[in-house]
Structure 1
């Protein structure tokens, strides 16, 4: 039956003999896809090192089979058509964590077709990629992850990419776990040259640089660490003859073991890098063990099982003990000053420069080359 309106007649004319498997070009050469990624949110998992990015993939190309004269259809210049019924580039993510990444990450969407043959589609997509984590600066680490997107079958002689430069603001980004912030993004066009074939398979690499922002880590990691540092310094300041020092040393040793157990459960266990904070805590534990062993030695009273001879000089023995006590106190003060400087330098090394600064929104420019 003949459609009753202009849009129906146009759809019958365009799609009566339309084949979505045919390339939408009437001449030789590649189809240029104008590509733009609009990031709506992202998450990064420490457990399995996966980056999940929610995007809108804005794609525009020209389909020579979908052109018409608006005067023939009552000045109708554009229509909306489902993406399932028209040709689309077979995009896939090469570094996906699933076996088949084709047509699984993006949902179907309605596309706008203009009378010039221009087709614009913005499907919502969710990309999942494996990353190589680096936890040296944990819990203030930065992670670098890449999404490698390209065509699955079409070569560079059939499909080519032209990426638009994008500016993202922090208000437009929403991390579902509220733990990471995007601080940089770049894209690279890979020409896709392979030695075993003359054909090229161009692709796009979107690289995201994220930094961790978690208030819970600051509260549960650095506040106890700061308390342990103060406990070590106070222990050095207490006179070695007092029993309070032995109690403080035992408390410090027990606290360090509990803190190491706490770090074991929260530190990421994947990746080849070891967080620097673990080396610092290992040093703290060794210092506590050495001080604890020294205190045990000083508390052992020397018992003389040989009767004193008349020529023994107890006054000289007391003088010697006093000299050693004075020397021990001097060593404690020197260690107190040395460890204080060392702790300050170590804290400055572990904490980022803007740790106490206000987190002001900033723009993230996606730069490509």
Structure 2
């Protein structure tokens, strides 16, 4: 009881004539150095709203030149617990908040510890959502870089300066939440010297957060279906051009592409400097699947064509069938046996031996041309998909 009475008396004494609206310095030229430390609790990122939500405790420490006393004269009392509303507080604020209305101060109304030396320490819980434009180029293996900027709202650097301790951001009590993992936190101090105000500085501190998406679930719902669409496109090349199965697989592949693109068109935000490579891959793969349907229709018409082929086609197909590379490609294609025999090419005939001959009514030149175009398209597909996969690698 006696101790509390002494504290009340001490509080009344040190706060006599104290003005919480004025900087607590004896000389107006004196700078108040404020040390700020963040105790990060959790983070949550929403790419649709382009905002990173930070839950943290803010520790502010500074020297008040007015609030000091001698402990030996006050029953050896060395500290007082005072509500922040009765103190002058540094107006440090978050500059790049999503919601610009209301107070941007990081030090909310709370209790602070005042030491006899004038040192004041305040710890206040804070929650701020900062602007962070997403870059989804490498979705779902993307990493976002978000920056929180803290500085004095009204004071110049010659009045209130900012310092950070040896450990500016403590992660000792940090908890991972959601699909994002915090990789690093970097601190950058800027003196804030501008041409408009050569005699003043406006210092601020930038906290740069690097967060990485936990992509496990996206591998199942995005990467595996994308690979399956590629496999469907390639498998269709090994089906009979004249058969309906090839058309059915190709049409089904196009439908799968459309559903895949529409799903992620609704799931991903439309903002950002670069479109996701996954969407670019799906778009190009859809174009190739559509081309596959057009190519299949044309090749089927060629095979069923009964018109005499131009002379240059016969010459070109004859030259092609004499090529070792073409013979190797058509090694298991029995429909070209007649062509090899007609050209008198023993090697070509040996490659396709033991396979039933093609119908005599079929125009061999059109058949060979269709087969050649089909295999050229297959090789082109492999090359294009390989380039697309390489571009997707970060």
* 1:270/1:92 CA distance change after superposition, 3 Å: same
1:338-368 deviations in Å (ceiling 9; x for gaps):
544654564454356xxxxxxxxxxxxxxxx
TM-score (norm 1): 0.82
5 Å-filtered alignment, 1:212-361, equals 212-300=213-301, 301-302=304-305, 318=360, 321-322=363-364, 325=367, 328-329=370-371, 332-333=374-375, 335-336=377-378, 339-340=381-382, 342-343=384-385, 346-347=388-389, 349-350=391-392
Structure 1: 5+ residue stretches without partners? 306-313, 353-369
2:76 maps to which residue? 75
Contact 1:53 1:127 survives alignment (8 Å): yes
Identify the residue that residue 186 of structure 1 maps to in structure 2: 186
Task: State whether residues 36 and 58 of structure 1, in contact with CA within 8 Å, keep that contact through their aligned partners in structure 2.
Answer: yes
User: Which residue of structure 1 aligns with residue 49 of structure 2?
Assistant: 48
Structure 2, unpaired ranges of 5+ = 309-337, 343-358
The answer to whether the 8 A contact 1:63-1:118 is kept is yes
Counterpart CA distance in 1 for 2:32 and 2:204 is 14
Judge conservation of contact 1:187–1:207 (CA < 8 Å) in 2. Answer: yes
1 CA distance for matches of 2:137 and 2:60? Answer: 38
Aligned residues: 342
Could you tell me how far apart the structure 1 residues matched to 2:166 and 2:176 are?
Answer: 22
Flag the 1:297–1:103 CA change in 2: closer, same or farther, 3 A: closer
Aligned equivalents of 2:206, 2:185: Cα separation in 1? 10
Counterpart Cα distance in 1 of 2:263 and 2:3: 72
Distance 1:173 1:328, change over 3 A: farther
Asked if structure 1 preserves the Cα contact closer than 8 Å seen for 2:193 and 2:201, the reply is yes
Q: Give 1:325 deviation, angstroms.
A: 4.0
Higher mean displacement: 335-344 or 250-259: 335-344
Distance in structure 2 (CA, Å) of the matches to 1:228 and 1:145 = 34
Q: Would you say the 8 A contact 1:79–1:112 is kept in 2?
A: yes
Corresponding residue for residue 15 of structure 1: 15
Deviations 1:69-106 (CA, angstroms, capped at 9, x unpaired): 11122222112111111111011222223334645554
Partner of 2:66, secondary structure, is helix
The two structures have a TM-score, normalised by structure 2, of 0.77
Q: State how far apart, in whole Å, the 2-side matches of 1:170 and 1:11 are.
A: 35
Q: Which has the larger radius of gyration?
A: 2
The 5-angstrom pairing of residues 149-168 of structure 1 reads 149-166=150-167
CA distance in 2 between counterparts of 1:138 and 1:264 reads 13
Distance 2:131 2:104 in 1: 18
- Taking the TM superposition and a 5 Å limit, the aligned residue runs for 1:124-139 are 124-139=125-140
Q: Which residue of 2 aligns with 1:359?
A: none
**8 Å Cα contact 2:94-2:105 kept in structure 1:** no
Deviation at 1:284, TM superposition (A): 0.9
Q: 1:173 to 1:351 in 2, by over 3 A?
A: farther
CA contact (8 A) 1:180 1:211 kept: yes
Cα separation, 2, equivalents of 1:222 and 1:51: 26
Which residue of the partner structure matches residue 195 of structure 1?
Answer: 195
Could you tell me whether the CA contact under 8 Å between 1:237 and 1:333 is conserved in 2? no
Distance 1:225 1:4, change over 3 A: closer
Question: Which of the pair has the greater relative contact order for Cα pairs under 8 Å at 6+ separation?
Answer: 1
Give the 3 Å change call, closer, same or farther, for CA 243–7 of structure 1 in structure 2.
same
33-42 or 128-137: bigger deviation: 128-137
